[in-house]
Structure 1
Amino acid sequence: VRETLIESSDKSTTRCAICKIRSYSFCRCLHDDQLKIFSGISTEKEFKDKETVFLQQEDSKHLYNITKGNIKIYKLLSDGRIQIIGFLYPGDFFGSYKKGKYNYSAEAIGDVRLCVFKQELLDNYLEKNMNLAKELLHMTSHELTLAQDRIGVLGKMNANERVAKFILNISEQRARIGWQNNPVSLPMIRQDIADYLGLTLETVSREITRFKTSNLIKVMNAKQIFIVDKEKL
C-alpha cells in the first residue's frame, strides 16, 4: 500500500477541491472553505490489483471513498467459500462495521486510489456538518442496495437473465458517474462475476456466447462488451 497526496500547482488549492470525482461523492455538498478543513481529516492511499484493503471482522478504524478504480466487497462464509456482495466504483463510500468490526472484506480490482478517513475524526466532523452527514447516509445505503439487488438477481432470475441483468447494471453504474457505458467495461475477472451471480464460470461463458451469437452483444475483448440491443438483452 502506498500513501500519497495529490499536489496542486496552487498551494491554496486543496486536494478535495481538485478531486475529479467530487461531483458524485458524498462531499459534493461542501463549500470551498469547508473543503480546506475536510482535506485535513483524510489521506489518500493507493492499492494494487488484488491487494486487500481490509478483512471481515478486522477492527474498523477507517472509512473509505473510491477516487480511482474499483473495489470488490465480499464475505467469507463459515465453510470457507467466498460470497461476493458487489463491485464498487469511484464515488462509492464503503467500510460499514458493527460493534467495531468490518462487516465484510474489500479487495482492489486493478490499480485503486482511496480517500481514507479515520472514523473518529470523520464522526467529529459529521457532528458539525449535518448536510454532509445526510449525504453520507445516502451513500452508505448504496451498500444495502447492492445486497438487495443480489438477492433479487439470485432469487428470481434464471442464468440467462442473471448475466444480462449484470451487464446492464454495470452499464448503468458507469453512466451514473459519467463514464462511457457502452462498450461496458468489466474490470473484474469472470470467476468473480460467476461467484457474484451464483453461477459456474462455464455457465457465465456460455450465456455470454449465446448473447453474442444472437447479436445482442459484441465481445470486444476479455474486459469489454458492446451492447448491440439493450431492449432485447
Structure 2
Amino acid sequence: MTSGLWPRWALAAALLAVAPVCAGCAETEPAPQTSLAQSPAPSLPTDARELEELLVDEVPSGLPRVPDDDLDPPAGEKTVDDVAGYGEDAQQQEEVLGEYGYLRGWERFWRDGPRITSVFIDQFADPAGAATYAEDLARNDAEYYGGTLDHAPAGLPEDCVLMAMPEAVPEHGLEGPPAFAWCTRGAFTVAVASVQPTAEEARTELSAVVADQLAQLPDN
C-alpha cells in the first residue's frame, strides 16, 4: 500500500526544538499453603485512556517527561482526525487510516536539551492493519530522513524494523544521532525514537524502551 503518511515524529521533533523546556495457589505438605497472586492478562483498550495506561511512564536515560500541552498540536491522545491532520491532505489521510483499521493512539515524549526520546502507540482493528501501518510508516520515515531500514536488527524483537543513523540530522532538527524502531504486537504498533549525543547511546536507549513498552502490551 502506498500510504503517503506524514512522518509524525518529524513534526513533533521540530516542535520540541522550539518548545520550553489469587488466581493460582500452590500447596505442599507439610509446608503451609502459599498463595501466588498472578496478574490477569491485560485486555485490549476500548478507549484512549485505557491505551494510555499501557504506555511506559519513564525511560532508562532518566530524561524528564515533556508535558503533552507543551507541543502544538499536543502530544497525548490521538484520534483518526488528529493523525490525519499531520498530512497535507487530511481527507486522503483519513481514508488511508480507515483502510488500516486505525482506532486510536497515544504519544509521549521525554527531553533534555537536544536529547529526545519518544513513544507512539497506535491501536488497530486487527493485527494485519497494525503490521501494514508499521511497514508503511517505517518506509515513509526512512525516505524522509534519508536512512536505511534494518528488517532483522540485532537486539530487537523479530517484529521490529530499525533505522539507526550515525550522525545528527540538523536539517530535520535532530542535534544528535537518531535511532528509530517500528514494532508490532498484535493489534498495536509501537514507534520509538531516540536522539542522543552518540549513536551508541541512542541505540541503547531505543532498545531498552522498545523492550519495556512491548512488555506492557497484550499479545492479541
TM-score, with normalisation over the residues of structure 2? Answer: 0.25
Q: Of Structure 1 and Structure 2, which has the larger fraction of its residues in helix?
A: 1
TM-score, with normalisation over the residues of structure 1? Answer: 0.24
Q: Of Structure 1 and Structure 2, which has the larger fraction of its residues in strand?
A: 1
